[in-house]
Chain A
Amino acid sequence: MEKSNYKDIFVFAEQVDGKIAGVVFELLGKAKELAAVRGGNVSAVLLGSGVQALCKKLAQYGANRVVLVDDKALETYMTEPYTKALYQVVSQYNPEIVMFGATAIGRDLAPRVSARAHTGLTADCTKLEIQDETGNLMMTRPAFGGNIMATILCPNHRPQMATVRPGVMQRIAPIEGAECPVDKVEVANLASAMNVEILEVVKKVSEKMDIMDAKVLVSGGRGMGCPKNFEALEALAEVLGGTVAASRASVDAGWQPKERQVGQTGKTVRPNLYIACGISGAIQHLAGMEDSDVIVAINKDATAPIFEVADYGVVGDACKIVPLLTEALKAQRAKKV
């Protein structure tokens, strides 16, 4: 394998029902940054059926080109047709780097494509940099439940592939009116690659804001004592225009749904304000929220590790303080008006 034959950074532009996954914009932002160091261009690879209209948006977020495979067989995500299509794109273009969101789709597709292409894949990266001496991609990721970080290289195989944790990389401000060339790639016999049957697609309905999109998160842990006490967190979140998140302990206890979970096995969030209530701050939790702009922690235990990352820590009973905080905020707001 001649490494110099591999150029450019490709981003898998995951879309479902014609909506591009948020992580794709984050990947494009990061890819642009890496391309500035490494040289070369950023391409978005868009797979789907009737999705050409999405190309413009990919350009606005930093794609220099879109490689599009538009095929009826790609309408709903299925492992093999997507693998076949993406593998063909990778074989045809020889990118140096391929990035995927570490999503339920990306973490299924990337392993198959990398195994087929006989190259390395690093999962769930939280940091990507170009190594000065070699130009290799340094892929850093948490391991052992977020207890340690490991930097991985793929020195002798190409492309270098990584899945990247949603919520970690920064998207660029969209460039108004940006457009880019679109390469249409035909993949033969994609329909025959449909080797399983999707009997039903069932969407989960959630009325609440996704915690990854919220500017303010009021997050509760085991220290809240019982699910009833989360009502106080809801009230506080409402006053602040945010939403409620949870630690693994409170999700495992069944107090909050899994989609609210922050941490290594949950979601990575970076809101403007993160208020941790009754959360001790296990490393796996901190891994998911420590990049929040401002962290407030309320916990009875003065030795709780959450205080090691909090900008403002209160050693006290969150169950008692939170309702008073809600009232104080309301009073303060009334005063301002």
Chain B
Amino acid sequence: MNIIVCIKQVPDTTEVRLNPETGTLIREGIPSIINPDDKAGLEAALRMKDKNGAHVTVISMGPLQADDALREALAMGADEAVLVTDRAFGGADTWATSSTLASAIKTLPYDLIITGRQAIDGDTAQVGPQIAEHLGLANISYAEEMETDGKSVTVKRQFEDRYHIIKAPLPCLVTALSELAQPRYMTPGGVFRAYQKQQVKNLTRADLDVADENIGLKGSPTRVFKSFAKELKGAGTVVSMEGEEAADWIVEKLEEKFLI
């Protein structure tokens, strides 16, 4: 069974801080990580491999630095890594990203495609289902649990107030929640292998059978018009108090606002 896992290298947004003077993001010194939902998807693929055998290929679209994320995936146990990288792919929104990744995936054998539900920098959750759309596959989003018998996958699909147990014939695409699987650590042997023995295969514009109008900025229906720091509503009254004094002060304020 061939499993493809799509991963994205993202800045660790829990570490992102704003420059209070300029209102811009401070990106320096922010570690790059494999997006958490994607990493859970990779772990789920590796568990399928451990259990029944599978060939796991990780694929990422991004700049050359994304090589690090792919090496980490190899060190965790992936068999093959593909980096889809070219200036022509730059500036892509989710439509163009999914179109590009779909055309890259078409060059590989696959039975199951796993993506993370969403990336922590963009939070869109769109690329997974859109890859499936471009490939004409069924997709199951928000997977909390997943198993396979080699012919189909059975997924526990999360909703706000319920879950569905869904069975889909292969090939299909599943988007993984972080809850799907706690990722393993890289082993020293894995790291050695990833950097010394294994290769990351680069796919560029020339390697893909996709129209120019479906990639990069040109292939993106959406445009970022502007970005800005969020304005907070501004502080009210802050006092330093403890115990009953504090409790009474809050009661007084709630009374003033007719909240009690």
Query: Which residues does A use to contact B, with CB under 8 Å?
Result: 16, 76-77, 79-80, 83, 103-105, 107-108, 110-112, 114-116, 118-124, 138, 142-157, 195-204, 206, 216, 240, 259, 264-265, 272-273, 283, 286-287, 290, 294-296, 298, 302, 307-317, 320-321, 324-325, 327-329, 332-333
* B236:A311 contact, CB within 8 angstroms: yes
Residues in A with CB closer than 8 Å to B160 are: 103-104, 259
User: Considering the chains assembled together, what is the distance between the CA atoms of A47 and B121 in angstroms?
Assistant: 32
**Known contacts A112-B130, A314-B249; is A196 also within 8 Å of B222 by CB?**
no
* B141:A108 contact, CB within 8 angstroms: yes
Chain B residues 114 to 163 lying within 8 A of chain A, measured CB to CB, are: 120-130, 132-134, 138-142, 154, 158-163
- 8 A-B pairs with least C-beta separation: A120-B221, A145-B13, A313-B238, A120-B222, A311-B236, A123-B124, A115-B133, A324-B247
Within 8 Å by CB of B141, from A79, A147, A324, lies A79
Smallest CB-CB separation from A105: which chain B residue?
B159
* A327:B166 contact, CB within 8 angstroms: no
The prevalent SS among residues of B at the interface is: mixed
Residues 147-183 of chain B, each 1 if its beta carbon lies under 8 Å from chain A, else 0: 0000000100011111111111100100000000000
User: Considering the chains assembled together, what is the distance between the CA atoms of A165 and B167 in angstroms?
Assistant: 29
The count of chain B contact residues (Cβ–Cβ below 8 Å) is: 80
Within 8 Å by CB of B133, from A112, A298, A321, A328, lies A112
* B138:A294 contact, CB within 8 angstroms: no
A-B pairs with beta carbons under 8 Å apart, 19 shown: A104-B142, A112-B130, A115-B130, A118-B221, A142-B230, A146-B230, A195-B138, A196-B166, A199-B154, A201-B165, A204-B163, A216-B259, A259-B160, A283-B18, A311-B237, A313-B237, A320-B243, A321-B247, A328-B251
**Known contacts A111-B130, A112-B132; is A197 also within 8 Å of B167 by CB?**
yes
Interface check B64, CB cutoff 8 A: no
The prevalent SS among residues of A at the interface is: mixed
Residues 1-30 of chain B, each 1 if its beta carbon lies under 8 Å from chain A, else 0: 000000000010110111000000100000
* B259:A145 contact, CB within 8 angstroms: no
Distance (whole angstroms) from the CB of A193 to the closest CB of chain B:
10
Chain B residues 200 to 251 lying within 8 A of chain A, measured CB to CB, are: 220-230, 232-244, 246-251
Smallest CB-CB separation from B129: which chain A residue?
A111
Residues in B with CB closer than 8 Å to A110 are: 126
* B238:A307 contact, CB within 8 angstroms: yes
Query: Which residues does B use to contact A, with CB under 8 Å?
Result: 11, 13-14, 16-18, 25, 93-95, 98, 120-130, 132-134, 138-142, 154, 158-169, 172, 220-230, 232-244, 246-251, 253-255, 257, 259-260
**Known contacts A79-B139, A138-B225, A321-B247; is A123 also within 8 Å of B237 by CB?**
no
Residues in A with CB closer than 8 Å to B236 are: 295, 310-313
Residues in B with CB closer than 8 Å to A105 are: 159
**Known contacts A104-B142, A312-B253, A328-B248; is A144 also within 8 Å of B121 by CB?**
yes
**Known contacts A121-B94, A143-B122; is A325 also within 8 Å of B251 by CB?**
yes
Distance (whole angstroms) from the CB of A190 to the closest CB of chain B:
15
* A321:B243 contact, CB within 8 angstroms: yes
* A201:B126 contact, CB within 8 angstroms: no
* A121:B126 contact, CB within 8 angstroms: yes
* A120:B220 contact, CB within 8 angstroms: yes
User: Considering the chains assembled together, what is the distance between the CA atoms of A325 and B255 in angstroms?
Assistant: 13
* B221:A156 contact, CB within 8 angstroms: yes
* B16:A123 contact, CB within 8 angstroms: no
* A115:B163 contact, CB within 8 angstroms: no
* B13:A147 contact, CB within 8 angstroms: yes
User: Considering the chains assembled together, what is the distance between the CA atoms of A143 and B244 in angstroms?
Assistant: 41
Residue from B25, B93, B230 whose CB has the most chain A CB atoms within 10 Å:
B230
User: Considering the chains assembled together, what is the distance between the CA atoms of A142 and B123 in angstroms?
Assistant: 9
